[in-house]
Amino acid sequence: MTKMMSCSFSSFSFAIILMLSLFSFSLHKVEARAFFVFGDSLVDNGNNNYLITSARADSPPYGIDYPSHRPTGRFSNGLNIPDIISEQLGMEPTLPYLSPELTGDKLLVGANFASAGVGILNDTGIQFLNIIRIGKQLEYFEQYQRRVSGVIGAEQTQQLVNSALVLITLGGNDFVNNYYLVPFSARSRQFALPDYVRYLIYEYRKILQKLYELGARRVLVTGTGPMGCVPAELAQRSRTGECAVELQRAASLFNPQLTQLLSDLNAQLAADVFVAANTYTMHMDFVSNPQAYDSMLWTRTIQWDRTMHTIIKSVSK
């Protein structure tokens, strides 16, 4: 794996996991249900271990703070976002869909289809070779439902999927591992940044609509974090330690349009299916005001906890 990829993934994971950890102490457990995960390295918990790819997290220092103290395929020093959500909802962690252990009753817990390196677009992450692109993840979701139908029947499977919590995290790689991967990349020559963002949103709409068609009814959608602030991007693009302007601009264009997309889809469906999680603002609070998390940590934790509790409560209904 390239150093750039490792640093970028680790920084985003740290920000979102820290955010969820701060919220976690008063989240109420809800009735057990299935949990499905789609997306990139922020939520991959080991699928890429089963692939011939350079996008891997199967060696130290990954996993040093995981209960086993060993790398698991998560792009994290310990638990990742799906692990923390499962823990706070009182569920056991979902297994990677490619894991041979995902059989029988374990299928009823849900599955993690995510794969490090993927994006909204199929040409994102081509340098990593064999990864599970989002279209394939959705195909696996269909395959999963056929497998579960063989265990509990078609009607019960539909109920399981409809009542499940779904997490999807996409978009960051379409910038750091596509548009801005190299100077004068193919996509940057094809699109000005505002047009590229609109194209991503157009393609993301298709993905979310397909997810709904496959039965997802409670979907948590995360935006991109402050991509210009990750260590690899700072090393490559910043001379003063300030966050890289162009990547920050990309996030500032993408996130509001993603939120609007979710609002439009909910209006179209006449239901609150998709819930947006604004990870950018929360991360930037850490970056721009780190001293506040010393003396004011407890106060801010309570404030943020209320916000995350509202999100989790909403998607758990």
The list of the chain residues with pLDDT below 70 reads 1-32, 282, 284, 286-287, 291-317
Side-chain half-sphere exposure of 83, counting CA atoms within 13 A: 22
Judge whether 232 lies within some domain. Answer: yes
- pTM of this prediction? 0.84
73: DSSP letter? S
Count of domains for the chain? 1
Query: Which residues span the domain enclosing 191?
Result: 30-316
Judge whether 2 lies within some domain. Answer: no
Give the pLDDT of residue 75.
86
Judge whether 7 lies within some domain. Answer: no
Judge whether 84 lies within some domain. Answer: yes
Integer Cα distance of 1 and 255 in angstroms: 28
Integer Cα distance of 166 and 144 in angstroms: 14
Beta-carbon contacts of residue 161 (< 8 Å; ≥ 6 apart)? 34, 36, 145, 214, 215, 216
CATH number at residue 148: 3.40.50
With CA atoms as reference, report the closest residue to 97 among 46, 41, 51: 46
Do 168 and 85 touch, CB atoms closer than 8 A? Answer: no
Judge whether 10 lies within some domain. Answer: no
Judge whether 15 lies within some domain. Answer: no
Q: Tokens for 257, please give them.
A: 């349009």
Q: Tokens for 243, please give them.
A: 């966050």
Judge whether 4 lies within some domain. Answer: no
Integer Cα distance of 27 and 244 in angstroms: 35
Do 256 and 32 touch, CB atoms closer than 8 A? Answer: no
Judge whether 297 lies within some domain. Answer: yes
